[in-house]
Amino acid sequence: MKKGISRRDFLKGTVAGAASVAAAGILGACSTSAAATTAAPETTAAPETAAATTAAPETTAAAETETPTTPAVGGDGKYVTKAMGHESWVHVATTLMDGKIAACQVLSHEETIGIGNYACTRIPAAIVANQSVNVPNLRGASTTSLAIKAAVTEAITLAGYNIDDFSAEIARPTNPGETEEEVDVVIMGAGTAGLVCAARLLEAGYSVTLVEKRDIAGGSMAMTYGGVATAGSKLQTNYDVDGAYAASAMGSLKGMMNFWMTMEQYHRKDFFNGEMPYMTTQYTYAGDLVDWMHGMGIGFSTLGTYESATAYGASTPYLAPGCYEGGAGYALMFLEQRIGKYEKGKIIYSTSVTDLIQDESGRVTGVHAEGEDGMKYTITGKAVCLASGGYAKNKEMLQQYNEGYADFFYNCASASTGEGIQMGLAAGGVMECENRPLPAFLSSYKSKFELAFIHSTAPGIMVNINGDNIGNIMSDNHYKMASAKLNKDNGDTFYYIFDEASAVMLRDSESYGFNGYVAMFEKEEAVHYDSVEAASAELNLPNLAAAIEANNKAALSGEADEFGRKNCPFIETRTGLWAIRVDPTFYLTTAGLAIDTECHVLNAERAAIPGLYAAGDVCGSIEEKDAKQYGMGFDAALVYGYIMGETLKKEL
């Protein structure tokens, strides 16, 4: 018998996105008969080996509301309502007075820092200014935008007003025209690599304009775990009083590269030649990057591993407040604001680069771009940098460069559509690392909520359509997930099975210092069953009991299970068990433009295209360029953004 995770009856509603909101006045947001949905979000991210994104993706997902704390007495006043965002409930206070929305404020939220928090300030202000809940979603934070609008809609109805009176369709402002400008460097994309590169150049006195197609900066940055593997920084050296870190395998550049050289299971045997120039360059600069960020005020969490505290190793400084706690989002907002403080720095939002400008010699000298408001830009410069992300949301490019992967859902930034790659190719660049296996991580099936670390925060087993344990998901997690999805014998249905002890950890895990997975209970995707038999019958998993028995036998014996998994978690079933329907989801592309270790875009002869540079996911995986399978893309985007800035400072 299935037992719900909440005793409350939810007041649910559906918001079908900006277009259908315009037609229906935000459908059923306060109707007790309207069934709520939590649709699959489009996240962005380029998560890493030690992590992935918990980010608020761009989506047209419907928002789910709950009975407000304010009594539904009607009349003017302040109404406190809430709706389900990406991470959790978004609580909103809406004041109705004399037939108007007098005030609107998000009171509290758990949305992704660097994404959802933008919507939590901009959408309420837009609603008040326009006296309409039908304001445009914030591109890049649509899930949070929809949740706020659903909560306000409910407040309007509770006050006794007609929602139609507050549902005028609000169009984005227009500003047609043409403008030209000249700067030292033009950067396509204000994501991880673009922000870092721009900040370095502005510090050195150069003029920089970034062109960003979304309404907010950051690209995939806010969606990552926020750690930077480095072979030594002053931050780490100061921590290393006894020299233990310096003596460790990851405590020096030589040690780190030797570690990666000897990890043969991660090498592409057909391509690996014993050299790792791209990774060597990355870790050569990684310490400088960390010290630069730390020195200008970007926070890092305390280093080390402490008893009964967060398990962070000294080889990977995590952006504060820590792993999965929004550190990368705080850093991106810091960089965005820092860029705006320079007189010569500018980010043009809601604007897409349409093509690169090349002179007769083939040198790239600028870009053409067009804003959502109709403004057309011609921006010329001494250099153009491509930092616009990968192509995981472009099905045609997936079919071309990752045959067999095009029909899968990609849990990544909706802006990952590959235009920067296409423009680089049109300018004479070439692709590399095509048609290599792509990594995946675990997501919930219903809302595609990222669960990459569930095996650490809530030990359990993952089973396939028959209830069979699929294997050791703790080892080589990214590619084990991909293998599970690609293996047709598994079917298309997976469940993560865990007990009450793991459920407690899932709600608030201190091992990685975050509680983001509590959303699984709030979204009612984690379901409790009174017994193994009940779960097996209701979920149609005939082999579930045998899988749990085999796992528990290995756990009690202390020996590895049939998949080589050591320290198997004992799953206590006397009080029933928990299950989440899950889905291994791909999240990025590892092919990209060919570059050298100084970020010059290369042509077919491996010669640099004059004036054109690139860093981040637009270049694909730095590790794949060394014939090592993908692992840490966030690190690579940060460090190669830094390297691109250093290269330009030398060459401009």
Structural domains in the chain? 2-166 (no CATH), 178-436+590-651 (3.50.50.60), 440-586 (3.90.700.10)
Contact 633, 621 (CB under 8 A): yes
Residue 24 has pLDDT above 50, yes or no: no
**Span 610-632, average pLDDT:** 96
Residue 242 has pLDDT above 50, yes or no: yes
The whole-number pLDDT of residue 313 equals 64
Band (pLDDT 50/70/90 cuts) for residue 37 is very low
Residue 13 has pLDDT above 50, yes or no: no
Band (pLDDT 50/70/90 cuts) for residue 314 is low
51-55, 88-92, 566-570 — most confident range = 88-92
Band (pLDDT 50/70/90 cuts) for residue 512 is low
pLDDT digits (tens, 9 = 90+) for 134-145: 999 999 999 999
**Span 87-109, average pLDDT:** 97
Band (pLDDT 50/70/90 cuts) for residue 146 is very high
The whole-number pLDDT of residue 308 equals 63
The whole-number pLDDT of residue 17 equals 34
- 17: CB partners within 8 A, 6+ apart: 60, 137, 142, 146
The whole-number pLDDT of residue 64 equals 61
The terminus-to-terminus CA distance of the chain in angstroms comes to 69
Q: How many CB atoms lie within 10 A of CB 543?
A: 16
Query: Between these two residues, 492 and 38, which has the higher pLDDT value?
Result: 492
Please tell me the distance from the alpha carbon of residue 609 to that of residue 22, in angstroms, as a whole number. 47
Phi, psi of 613 (to 5 degrees): -130, 160
Please tell me the distance from the alpha carbon of residue 359 to that of residue 142, in angstroms, as a whole number. 39
pTM of structure: 0.88
What angle do the packed helices 142-158 and 116-130 form, to 10 degrees? 40
pLDDT digits (tens, 9 = 90+) for 447-480: 999 998 888 888 999 999 999 999 878 777 888 8
| Torsion, CA 417, CA 421, CA 423, CA 425, rounded to 10 | -140
Query: Between these two residues, 637 and 567, which has the higher pLDDT value?
Result: 637
User: Which amino acid does the sequence have at 609?
Assistant: I
The whole-number pLDDT of residue 63 equals 58
Please tell me the distance from the alpha carbon of residue 555 to that of residue 617, in angstroms, as a whole number. 40
